[in-house]
Amino acid sequence: MDKRWSLEGMTALVTGGASGIGHAIVEELASFGARIHVCDISETLLNQSLSEWEKKGFQVSGSTCDVSSRPEREILMQTISGIFDGKLNILVNNVGVVHTKPTTEYEADDFSFHISTNLESAYHLSQLSHPLLKASGIGSIVMISSVGGVVSMCCGSIYSLAKGALNQLAKNLACEWARDGIRTNSVAPNFVNKTTMAKPFFKDTGYEKTSYITGQTICVDGGLTVNGFSYQPNA
């Protein structure tokens, strides 16, 4: 392994890491030597993934957590502080849900569900992780956003506004917390196979060697955001 990209001695928290993009992110970080804690709402998927990672020799621990719950987020960060001795290098706010409907059909519960899971959780976990990231000396927050937060969607307006807010949050935290040695970026993937695209788009955002990249929204979308949703790569 090229030592320039080594994550030996570094720690990471990945939310929603037992499947999809989160699972692939965990594998990428672990393969470069990071110690990782994964939280997921599904105990079954979490246990399956932990068993898989143990067989691969990865340094991964895990706990169940519903990140839409404020008390559970607080318990999670207490766990992280204990496991990693009060320090954290990388926070990946990966959890996301989407229920697509026309805007006129959304109800109050739909709004609360999307905002608490997709936006409030990332905001609060970033707040809670700040002292741990600062203590590490080399901190990085990665928001897993979506192209839906950059260009319009035909439905799913609540999802889009939450993802757009994540992109703006990354900019704000990048400026506010730069003095604390914390970088913040947002990665906005297209709606394609989550597992296959996760590794290449995430690979560079958490490394010390990319320390000049902060406050950015990095679209990984096959060119969709420069064409809008009329883009048809297979046409």
| Residues designated catalytic | 159
CA distance 12 to 10: 7
3-class DSSP state for residue 78? helix
Tell me the CA distances in angstroms from 43 to 15, 35, 48, 50, one per residue in order.
13, 20, 9, 10
Q: Provide the terminal-to-terminal Cα distance of the chain, rounded to the nearest Å.
A: 39
CA distance 178 to 83: 25
Query: Which among 229, 142, 156 is positioned nearest to 188, based on CA atoms?
Result: 142
3-class DSSP state for residue 45? helix
3-class DSSP state for residue 11? strand
If you write DSSP's letter for every residue of 114-147 in order, what string do you get? HHIIIIIHHHHHHHHHHHHHHHHSSEEEEEE--G
171, exposed or middle or buried, with CB in 10 Å at 0-12, 13-18, 19+?
middle
**51 alpha-carbon distance from chain centroid:** 22
Give strand pairing partners of 64: 40
